[in-house]
Structure 1
Amino acid sequence: MTSPADQSAVHGDRPGGGPAESAPETVDAAAAAAEADSAGRSTGRSDEHGDPAEETVAEPVEYTVAPDPAREVDLARVLTELRDHVDQVRLVLEVPGVEEARAAQAEIRRQLDDYVLPRIRGKSAPMLVVLGGSTGAGKSTLVNTLVGARVSATGVLRPTTSSPILVCHPDHADWFLKGPLLPDMGRVPGPAPDAIAGDQLVVIGSDRLPEGLALLDSPDFDSVFEDHFEFATKLMAASDLWLCVTTAARYADAQVWQMLQRAKEQGATIGVVLSRVPQGAGAEVVDHFAEMLDEHGVGDARRFTIPETRIENSRLPEETVEEIRAWLLELAESPARRTKVIRDTFGGVLDSFRVRVPELAKHVEAQAEVRTVLREEVEAAYAAALAELDEATRNGSLLRGEVLARWQDFAGTGDLLRALRVQRGRSGHRGGRKGRRNPARLRALKAALRSGLESLIMSAAEHAAEDVLNRWRAHPAGGQILAGPADGLSGVSPELPRRVGRAVSSWQDHVLELVRTEGVTKRTVAKLVTFDEEALSIVLMIGLLGYGTADVSVEGGTSAVPQRLLKALFGAESLRGMSAKARADLRSRIGMLFDEEAIRYGQALDAAEIPDETAAVRLYQATHKLEVAR
């Protein structure tokens, strides 16, 4: 049974019989206590060994000074923005280190949701002490002993605690049941039966705890159930003070130190309890445990030991927990100490974001770099296809098959010469033409030229699409994208033939317009000859696409006809200008077609939600804004 003195201590009764002070507390309010200490208003002093247990912090003279509301609102806004930016990150590519990055992202988001933002909104909420530890360490027994009643299940069956049990003063039970802390966990009021399955937070009100303190018994972090580990880490990140409980037999386990390291990195205030310390060899175990704490960088954690002893009614003997009880009550009942713990943890969490958020941004940059590489592979494939087309339209390969047959038919039968109108006499009156040209041959040549150019463009586009797929398959991330719902990436798009036909037809019209507006014939020729503009535009296209350049002669047969004719009519300089404009226009139209084809792959990258560089920039900016807001 608990003695009257113990009951008075647990109840948190203050001198004079009044209840524990519940002045408005904020994360920033501890600054007043810190200023009082620095100004010499603290009456407490550490002993000669610097033992924090002996230090006494005086109550600040003006503890109820309110924080700057504008600063508090700004900090909450900045933290909310940070949370949104972290939540928007999508680490979808399976690149080295991505699993660790995803876990880090989830931890940052959870800590913002579960602790940081709720702590700002719940400034006057009690200090939350979360007891975490390995299986069978005695967390539940310790909670029951500190509360003075069996509130958490104990037993030989492991794990015993399936759901977290939170015990607080009755006046704060409603806040923990309905407040913002751990928003995605279900809440049920206690008392709790021996076993509750699922992620339910069981909230139990007990007037044996002071108003400034809440204890939470979390599931074992080394449980055989994977979700218990997730709960344990989640609750650790949401605590104002994390009390790690381990045993003399298991304190060297790797997972104990991993959890302590994680708590340190996440900014938690840490205490450690070494339980079940055997008689006789206990000092050696305690000393070794202390050495390991120092080696792992958590030597400043407050340490407690509980000897191997009997357990009755799921509770330890009162004398074994007196030191732990006194420390917790001292923190809970002193507004300055309690607020300092909250402020230290809150500040430690914000300090940890200086490293954790930029590290996450680096992983986002790594994903964005892969996205850039995949996008550049697409650009390279279509650039190669465009270069292929450039070569094909310069080496005369187009003047084959149907195009060559139609050109020979048009030029060899006299239709080309008949397209020229020869003037006779000096009076300026035009004479008659020798025979009539056959317009059907001109139309057939124009159609064959258009069909040949369309086939050339389609072939290059098909090669580019195949090249993109091969390039992506050769890249692990590209293979991942193609293995997903990447519909329409195989081959060219269904609408490309229609777009190609429209582009080629528009280009032929453009060449005709060039002949009409810029095809100024030499004066000596103009006195004798006029010409059919449509026929001459076809001759110009043949000169461009069938012979490489329209101003370079190719000797022999009809091959020299387009060049000699065009140069004779327009002169080399004028012809060179028209040829350059016509070729540039064709290349531009094909480039736009290929750009439209490449959009499909960009859409596949977007659909996969691969982050771009701006996502990393937003994280860096959010980190900077947080530093400014603090």
Structure 2
Amino acid sequence: MTQSVGADAASALADLLRRVQDARLPLETASAPDARALQHSLGNQLEDYLLPRVQNPDAPLLVVIGGSTGAGKSTLVNSILRKSVTQSGVIRPTTRSPVLVHHPDDAEHFQSDRVLAGFARVTREETELDKPQLRLVADASIPPGLALLDSPDIDSVMESNRRIARQLLAAADLWLFVTTAARYADAVPWALLTEAQARGTTVALVLDRVPSEANREVRRHLTELLSDAGLGSSPVFTVPEVPLEDGLIPEAAVFTLTSWILNLGRSEAARSRVVEKTLVGALATVPPRAEELATHIVEQEEQHARLSSAVDDSFSSAMGELAASLADGRVLRGEVLARWQDFVGAGQFFRGIEPTVARLRDRITAAVTGKRDTSEPLELAIEQSVSLLIREQAVQAVTGARMSWEETPAGAALIAAHGDEGFARFRVPADFDARVNRAITQWSESVNDLVRDVGQSKRAKARILSFGVNGVGAVLMLAAFAGTGGLTGTEVGIAGGTAVVAGKLLDTIFGDQVTRDLADTVRTRLLDSAQELVTSCRTPFDDALAAAEVPPRQAGTLRGSGTRLEEAL
């Protein structure tokens, strides 16, 4: 055995254990429960059994006594040792903490965390520990090189006991499965026996409290079940239904079982055969289980990527639509066009009364050089129209991302993880409108500043003074948004006329090329600010994705560790 599994295998097992423990499976994919159970089971098998056993092949043989509630496991352990070392009784669950009985000379093997590192070592049952406890009992009646571990019930009413029982069974060199004539065919034990067989664990069975008249029939049926499960070579011991003597099964009733177990301790060759069988069988199952876990991890990686892409796609689409809406005339809808008509004089141009741009420009001059600041309603209408467009795209982006997530179990779970807060969290923030208003006000002020900065020539200054800075700024905003691609019906004609008039007016102040550059600058500044606002709405999605991060290359490194182990065996 020592020659067949060497230092390379120990190193490969340690590396694989680290990869398994470090693997993150945060997303609620369809296979997530199975994936986490596999990660937990494989991690325990590596840490509690395989690595310690490979590192120390000559350590004592660990026999775990496991079975169903009321099967008499503790009584059986006490009867084998002919003394009360573990609690038995009618109150369930009897064994709340596993009890490990070993020879005093083997104490160092079990007092350290070499095996079952997650268990606190105690000499009596404690009540205030932050992790499971393993009660150690040193007893000279058990041979050196052998340890018996009385495990909690595999079908205990306490979930924590069931979990511990499964972990202990995975750490066994030999599982001594105890059942009764009345319960030997129960589903739960057979599911675990099948798992043990698949894991390579050596199994022996004790059929306890068997009535003499049913012994032959029950044993025959049990043997058939074992053969069907691939456990036909497992030893089977029968303990008859007899009265207890001072709480122990009479020595004659357990003589065969006792002799078999104690002889394992006395025979180094027998111990080695059991250890070798279990170890080789268990090692053979590890690479396929690591590959299965890697497949689950790939699913996690792909799902995380899909959730991230859903957010990217939704916000990218909104950004594109926002850019289009600021260039195709949608800003000029409704109230903006009405205020523009008021600005140029009761809208007479658009009714055909004043057919030339030159005459309309004169009307604009008259309007904006009066005592009343006629540009203010127009500016306000433009700002409100832009605000609505930004909010519309923010809502589209957030809603699209959220709906995509809600269509998948993983995404829905990320939203639900925030409880009642999640409903509001994955929406447009409550302060979004206020932030938009502040940003647009700043943008509007920057447009007026731009008018002042660019219009430094004497001619431009004179015209700007005659029209008013805010008036020119409002006209510049109109020119920046004066496309017609997003308009329909009569709005197209009105906006088209608006574009011509606004452009001609600005050309008389700044010149043709400067006007185009200014319009591009104004639109770009607004688009940058608007996109920043909309992008801020994806923060809850990005935070959730970061919290549920699936590190890249997990599956690859896990597969690499599994391959390395195969090569070392």
TM-score, reference length from structure 1:
0.68
Aligned residue among 64, 67, 80 for 1:146: 80
| CA distance in 1: counterparts of 2:564 and 2:369, whole angstroms | 78
Superimposed CA distance per residue, residues 297-332 of structure 1 (whole angstroms, 9 cap, x where no aligned partner):
222333333344454344445455454445445543
Superimposed CA distance per residue, residues 443-487 of structure 1 (whole angstroms, 9 cap, x where no aligned partner):
986676455424421332234334544555565554443343346
Describe the SS at the equivalent of 2:331.
Answer: coil
| CA distance in 2: counterparts of 1:221 and 1:437, whole angstroms | 92
Does 2:181 align with 1:264? no
| CA distance in 1: counterparts of 2:485 and 2:161, whole angstroms | 75
Deviation at 1:172, TM superposition (A): 1.5
| CA distance in 1: counterparts of 2:330 and 2:188, whole angstroms | 71
Describe the SS at the equivalent of 2:238.
Answer: strand
Partner of 1:188: 122
C-alpha change, 1:186 and 1:140, in structure 2 (3 Å) is same
Where does 1:4-403 land on structure 2 (aligned, <5 Å)? 29=2, 31=4, 67-68=6-7, 71=8, 74-75=11-12, 77-86=14-23, 88-91=24-27, 93=28, 95-119=29-53, 123-155=57-89, 159-189=93-123, 200-309=133-242, 311-390=244-323, 392-400=325-333, 403=336
Partner of 2:536: 596
Does 2:487 align with 1:547? no
Deviation at 1:206, TM superposition (A): 1.9
Describe the SS at the equivalent of 2:544.
Answer: helix
- For 2:41, give the aligned amino acid: E
C-alpha change, 1:537 and 1:626, in structure 2 (3 Å) is farther
Superimposed CA distance per residue, residues 204-225 of structure 1 (whole angstroms, 9 cap, x where no aligned partner):
2122222211111222223344
Cα contact 1:173–1:204 (8 A) shared by 2: no
CA-atom RMSD in angstroms: 4.9
Does 2:431 align with 1:491? no
Larger relative contact order (C-alpha < 8 A, sep ≥ 6)?
2
Deviation at 1:29, TM superposition (A): 0.9
Deviation at 1:125, TM superposition (A): 2.6
Deviation at 1:250, TM superposition (A): 2.0
| CA distance in 2: counterparts of 1:582 and 1:325, whole angstroms | 92
Deviation at 1:236, TM superposition (A): 0.8
Where does 1:579-618 land on structure 2 (aligned, <5 Å)? 590-607=530-547, 609=548, 611=550, 614-618=553-557
C-alpha change, 1:136 and 1:611, in structure 2 (3 Å) is same
Deviation at 1:391, TM superposition (A): 5.1
Describe the SS at the equivalent of 2:481.
Answer: helix
| CA distance in 2: counterparts of 1:510 and 1:293, whole angstroms | 86
Cα contact 1:511–1:582 (8 A) shared by 2: no
C-alpha change, 1:199 and 1:386, in structure 2 (3 Å) is closer
- For 1:75, give the aligned amino acid: A
Deviation at 1:244, TM superposition (A): 0.9
Higher helix share: 2
Cα contact 1:139–1:245 (8 A) shared by 2: yes
C-alpha change, 1:478 and 1:82, in structure 2 (3 Å) is closer
| CA distance in 2: counterparts of 1:221 and 1:417, whole angstroms | 95
Deviation at 1:579, TM superposition (A): 7.8
Cα contact 1:393–1:548 (8 A) shared by 2: no
| CA distance in 2: counterparts of 1:298 and 1:496, whole angstroms | 70
Cα contact 2:447–2:473 (8 A) shared by 1: no
Partner of 1:16: none
C-alpha change, 1:538 and 1:621, in structure 2 (3 Å) is farther
Q: How many residue pairs are counted as aligned between the two chains?
A: 534
- For 2:68, give the aligned amino acid: S
Gaps of at least 5 residues in structure 2 are 350-356, 455-461, 487-491
| CA distance in 2: counterparts of 1:213 and 1:294, whole angstroms | 28
Cα contact 1:547–1:554 (8 A) shared by 2: no
Cα contact 2:200–2:280 (8 A) shared by 1: yes
Cα contact 1:177–1:188 (8 A) shared by 2: no
Sequence identity (%): 34
Deviation at 1:261, TM superposition (A): 1.5
- For 2:483, give the aligned amino acid: Y
| CA distance in 1: counterparts of 2:507 and 2:528, whole angstroms | 26
Superimposed CA distance per residue, residues 487-531 of structure 1 (whole angstroms, 9 cap, x where no aligned partner):
6433236367547755896699799999x99xxxxxxxxxxxx99
Deviation at 1:129, TM superposition (A): 0.5
TM-score, reference length from structure 2:
0.74
| CA distance in 1: counterparts of 2:17 and 2:183, whole angstroms | 40
Describe the SS at the equivalent of 1:31.
Answer: coil
Gaps of at least 5 residues in structure 1 are 1-27, 33-66, 421-432, 518-529
Does 2:562 align with 1:623? yes
Cα contact 1:29–1:339 (8 A) shared by 2: no
